[in-house]
């Protein structure tokens, strides 16, 4: 595995890569969710490139950018064991420039849900992903369904900007308890972790209700709110796969999304119906 920190070195090496290139962008503190993306890329491509970059522009003032878990040494070791071909770990100053040209996330779908209380979050996400796409020039890029709105917006960016990159959506990896893996789970105390299980419990309950034939969103939402009551609920929303809000669930075309705070930690999860 080659670890590359310098963007010019990456550009040179990329010129000489042959075959299909798969790309897995991450912010590090790698867990089994990330590994599932890497595994898929390894299976489907000749070369797999993983990036680790804690992207400052997607954090808002006062968010956890400074304290976001950084585990470069352990992450390098994991990538090596996964037989990643290139691990790209750029510096902030090489990625961003003063008064630079930058992309704006679409108005309607970026300022709802994850973007409602974090209005510039998706501008930052698309900005860095587009830069990484230009540097790495992947044929295929892998994103988790756990960040469903991010996945939708990245697919939209690829379409809107005519990028020739296939986006592969990877299922959410969970602990046996049901808790979706996330780098931010590290912030959870033992007690918080137990409380956080209510998130996946509420999603499972929702799935059961739908199986019983309940499709009305107001009823499903009320049931989920009841389960999530002990937590600080930011939103429970139902959307179609284009992120339009819906009043009735349609199988194969709906997503239920949850954002809560457990203690001081903000967690998100979802279920694709
Ligand atoms: P992050 O490092 O949190 O920016 O995540 C990097 C990529 O891993 C994103 O595409 C995430 O959606 C994906 N990811 C994060 N957690 C999981 C998970 N539990 N299962 C599958 N993919 C995940």
Which amino acids are annotated catalytic? Answer: 34
Which pLDDT score is estimated for 154? 98
HSE-CB for 101 with a 13 A CA cutoff: 2
User: What b/e readout covers 28-67, taking b as 16+ CB neighbours within 10 angstroms?
Assistant: bbbbebbbbbbbbbbeebebbbbbbbbbebbbeeeeeeee
Q: Name the residue at shortest CA distance from atom 7 of ligand 1.
A: 26
Q: What is the mean pLDDT of residues 199-207?
A: 98
Domains of the chain: 2-170 (3.40.50.620), 188-266 (3.30.1300.10)
Q: What is the pLDDT of residues 94-106, one digit of tens each?
A: 999 999 999 999 9
| Closest to 269 in 3D by CA, of 146, 153, 155, 171 | 146
Q: What is the mean pLDDT of residues 143-157?
A: 98
Pocket test for ligand 1, best of 33, 72, 180 (most atoms within 8 A of CB): 33
Which pair of structure tokens corresponds to residue 92?
């902030």
Q: Name the residue at shortest CA distance from atom 5 of ligand 1.
A: 26
223 alpha carbon to ligand 1 midpoint, in Å? 27
DSSP conformation class of 172: P
Atom of ligand 1 nearest to the CA of 145: 12
């Amino acid at each position: 595995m080659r670890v590359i920190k310098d963007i010019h070195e990456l550009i040179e090496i990329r010129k000489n890569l042959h075959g299909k290139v798969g790309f897995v962008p991450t912010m590090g503190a790698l867990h089994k969710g990330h590994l599932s993306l890497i595994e898929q890329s390894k299976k489907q491509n000749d070369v797999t490139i993983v990036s680790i970059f804690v992207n400052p522009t997607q954090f808002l003032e006062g968010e956890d950018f400074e304290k976001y878990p950084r585990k470069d040494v352990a992450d390098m070791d994991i990538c090596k064991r996964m037989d990643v071909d290139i691990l790209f770990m750029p510096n902030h100053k090489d990625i961003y420039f003063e008064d630079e040209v930058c992309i704006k996330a679409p108005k309607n779908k970026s300022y709802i849900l994850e973007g409602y209380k974090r209005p510039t979050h998706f501008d930052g996400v698309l900005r860095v992903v587009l830069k990484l796409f230009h540097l790495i020039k992947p044929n295929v890029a892998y994103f988790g369904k756990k960040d469903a709105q991010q996945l939708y917006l990245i697919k939209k960016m690829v379409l809107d900007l005519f990028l020739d990159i296939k986006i592969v959506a990877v299922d959410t990896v969970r602990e046996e308890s049901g808790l979706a893996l996330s780098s931010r789970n590290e912030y959870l105390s033992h007690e918080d972790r137990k409380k956080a299980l209510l998130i996946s419990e509420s999603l499972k309950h929702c799935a059961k209700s739908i199986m019983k034939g309940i499709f009305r969103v107001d009823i499903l939402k009320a049931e989920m709110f009841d389960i999530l009551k002990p937590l600080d609920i930011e939103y429970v929303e139902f959307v179609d796969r284009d992120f339009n809000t819906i009043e009735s669930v349609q199988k194969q075309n709906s997503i239920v999304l949850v954002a809560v705070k457990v203690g001081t930690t903000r967690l998100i999860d979802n279920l694709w119906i």
